[in-house]
Chains A and B, each alone.
Chain A
Amino acid sequence: DSGVTQTPKHLITATGQRVTLRCSPRSGDLSVYWYQQSLDQGLQFLIQYYNGEERAKGNILERFSAQQFPDLHSELNLSSLELGDSALYFCASSPRAGVGELFFGEGSRLTVL
């Protein structure tokens, strides 16, 4: 158990809909990272938050947004969903803003029909 909690574990929705994925980092970790893993693109970094502030941004679509709340949990919002958004979405946390060991959640599997 990494100590990182992601909900929901599975989510099935329709095109055009909006979903929110939630991540609770390990106790004491200030950084939260979001990654997308799809069959065709593999693992891709989406975005990092550190202590409530956006720290680094990757290949995150404009339809996607994220935030980190004062209690350090983070939410990834996916809107106007398309079939191609079907993927595993992982959250990871680490104590630091910079380079450090990552602790991954179990992932949220999103299926868009």
Chain B
Amino acid sequence: KNEVEQSPQNLTAQEGEFITINCSYSVGISALHWLQQHPGGGIVSLFMLSSGKKKHGRLIATINIQEKHSSLHITASHPRDSAVYICAVNAGGTSYGKLTFGQGTILTVHP
């Protein structure tokens, strides 16, 4: 079992729909990251969180430390949101720089 599991692996939506991507992890963490990777490969950091909730535009990220679970929500989805969304965690302890990645969720938003 991977230390970081995402669901679903693939997600197709119509423009305007509300989207949720889930991430569960099995280790103690100091932070969780949500990343976005567009076709062509570049990676952008969307959020880094260690508790609670963060919002940026149409994107909302939440984390529940007790349940070891995080969600990424996209409101009013748009075709330009089509990308791979990757959850990654900083394990607690001394290896702060080491990220462990989920396998990614491929999101396709149709007009």
Whether the pair B98, A45 counts as a contact (CB closer than 8 A) is yes
Nearest CB to that of B31 among chain A residues?
A99
From A43, A55, A107, give the contact of B86 (CB < 8 A): A43
Number of interface residues of B (CB under 8 A): 23
Which residues of A are found within 8 Å of B51, using beta-carbon distances? none
From B43, B96, B98, give the contact of A90 (CB < 8 A): B43
Which residues of B are found within 8 Å of A43, using beta-carbon distances? 86, 88, 99, 101, 104
Which residues of B are found within 8 Å of A104, using beta-carbon distances? 35, 42-45
A residues 3-58 touching B (CB-CB < 8 Å):
31, 33, 35, 42-45, 48, 50, 55-58
A residues 49-105 touching B (CB-CB < 8 Å):
50, 55-58, 88, 90, 92, 97-104
* Chain B at the A interface: SS class: strand
Which residues of B are found within 8 Å of A106, using beta-carbon distances? 41-42
Whether the pair A97, B97 counts as a contact (CB closer than 8 A) is yes
Which residues of B are found within 8 Å of A57, using beta-carbon distances? 98
From B30, B43, B88, B97, give the contact of A56 (CB < 8 A): B97
18 contacts between A and B (CB under 8 A): A44-B101, A45-B97, A50-B97, A56-B97, A56-B98, A88-B41, A97-B96, A97-B97, A99-B30, A99-B31, A99-B48, A99-B50, A99-B90, A101-B45, A102-B48, A104-B43, A106-B41, A107-B42
